[in-house]
Amino acid sequence: MKYDVIVVGAGSAGCVLASRLSEDRNRSVLLLEAGPDYPSFEWLPDDIKYGVRAWYESYNVDDHTWGYKALATPMQQPFDLPRGKVVGGSSAINGQVWFRGIPEDYDEWEAMGNEGWGYLDVLPYFRKIETDLDFPGDDFHGSDGPIPVRRYREDELMASPKAFIDACQAAGYPFTHDHNHPESTGVGHLVLNRVNEIRMSTAVTYLQMARDRMNLTVRSGVFANRVLIENGAARGVEVESGGEIYRLEADLTILSGGAINSPQMLMLSGVGPAEHLREHGIPVIADVPGVGQNLRDHIAVFMSYESNVDEPIPDRPPPLQIGMRYTTPNSPFRNDMHMRPISIRTEHVPIDFDPTIRASPTGFSIALQKAVGKGELRLATPDPHDQPILDYRYLSEPFDAERLRGAVRLAAEISELPEYAPAKMRRLTPTDDQLADDEALNKWLQEYVRTQHHSSGTCKMGPNSDAMAVVSPRCEMYAVDGLMVVDASVMPDVIRANTNATTIMIAEKIASGI
Q: What does the pLDDT look like over 297-340, one tens digit per residue? A: 999 999 988 877 666 666 666 668 999 999 999 999 999 999 99
Q: What is the 8-class DSSP label of residue 401?
A: H
> According to the model, what pLDDT value does residue 57 have?
41
Residues paired with 404 in a beta bridge: none
Q: Is the pLDDT of residue 422 over 70?
A: yes
Is the backbone peptide bond immediately before 418 cis, with ω within 30 degrees of 0? no
Residues paired with 6 in a beta bridge: 30, 253
Rounded to whole angstroms, the Cα distance separating 395 from 41 reads 42
CATH homologous superfamily for 2-45+81-99+201-293+457-513?
A: FAD/NAD(P)-binding domain (3.50.50.60)
Q: Is the pLDDT of residue 357 over 50?
A: no
> According to the model, what pLDDT value does residue 62 have?
64
Rounded to whole angstroms, the Cα distance separating 227 from 235 reads 8
Q: Is the pLDDT of residue 344 over 60?
A: no
For 399-414, what is each residue's pLDDT tens digit? 999 999 999 999 999 9
What's the burial of 467, exposed, middle or buried (CB within 10 Å: 0-12/13-18/19+)? exposed
User: Across 49-63, 245-259, 350-364, which has the greatest mean pLDDT?
Assistant: 245-259
**CA atoms within a 13 Å half-sphere pointing along the CA-CB vector of 81:** 26
When pLDDT is averaged across residues 247-252 and rounded to a whole number, the result is 99
Residue 272: in which H helix or E strand, if any? strand 271-272
Residue 485: partners with Cβ closer than 8 Å, 6 or more residues away? 254, 255, 256, 262, 266, 459, 470, 471, 475, 477
Domain extents in the chain:
2-45+81-99+201-293+457-513
For 107-151, what is each residue's pLDDT tens digit? 999 999 999 999 999 999 999 999 999 998 899 999 999 999 999
> According to the model, what pLDDT value does residue 78 have?
94
- Binned at pLDDT 50, 70 and 90, residue 8 comes out as very high
Q: How far is CA 303 from the centre of its chain?
A: 21
When pLDDT is averaged across residues 220-231 and rounded to a whole number, the result is 98
> According to the model, what pLDDT value does residue 361 have?
61
- Report which of residues 163 and 250 the model is more confident about: 250
Instruction: State in Å, rounded, how far the first CA of the chain is from the last one.
Output: 21
Q: Is the pLDDT of residue 349 over 70?
A: no
Q: Is the pLDDT of residue 343 over 70?
A: no
Please count the residues of the chain: 514
Rounded to whole angstroms, the Cα distance separating 458 from 26 reads 33
Q: Is the pLDDT of residue 183 over 60?
A: yes
**CA atoms within a 13 Å half-sphere pointing along the CA-CB vector of 449:** 27
Q: Which residues are catalytic?
A: 454
> Rounded to 5 degrees, what angle do the CA atoms 341, 401, 188 make?
25
- Interior/surface letters 244-275, b for 16+ CB within 10 angstroms, e for the rest: eeeebebbbbbbbbbbbbbbbbbbbbbbbbbe
> Rounded to 5 degrees, what angle do the CA atoms 325, 331, 334 make?
40
Residues paired with 226 in a beta bridge: 238
Lowest mean pLDDT among 236-245, 343-352, 385-394, 417-426: 343-352
Rounded to whole angstroms, the Cα distance separating 454 from 319 reads 17
User: What does the H/E/C string look like for 26-87?
Assistant: CCCEEEECCCCCCCCHHHCCHHHHCCCCCCCCCCCCCCCECCEEEECCCCCCCEEECCECCC
- % pLDDT > 70, the chain: 92
When pLDDT is averaged across residues 488-495 and rounded to a whole number, the result is 98
Mean pLDDT of the chain: 93
- Binned at pLDDT 50, 70 and 90, residue 363 comes out as confident
> According to the model, what pLDDT value does residue 318 have?
67
Residue 338: in which H helix or E strand, if any? strand 337-343
For 266-306, what is each residue's pLDDT tens digit? 999 999 999 999 999 999 999 999 999 999 999 999 998 88
Q: What's the one-letter identity of residue 115? A: E
When pLDDT is averaged across residues 47-62 and rounded to a whole number, the result is 57
For the full predicted model, state whether its pTM sits above 0.85.
yes
CA dihedral 438, 440, 441, 447 (to 10 degrees): 140
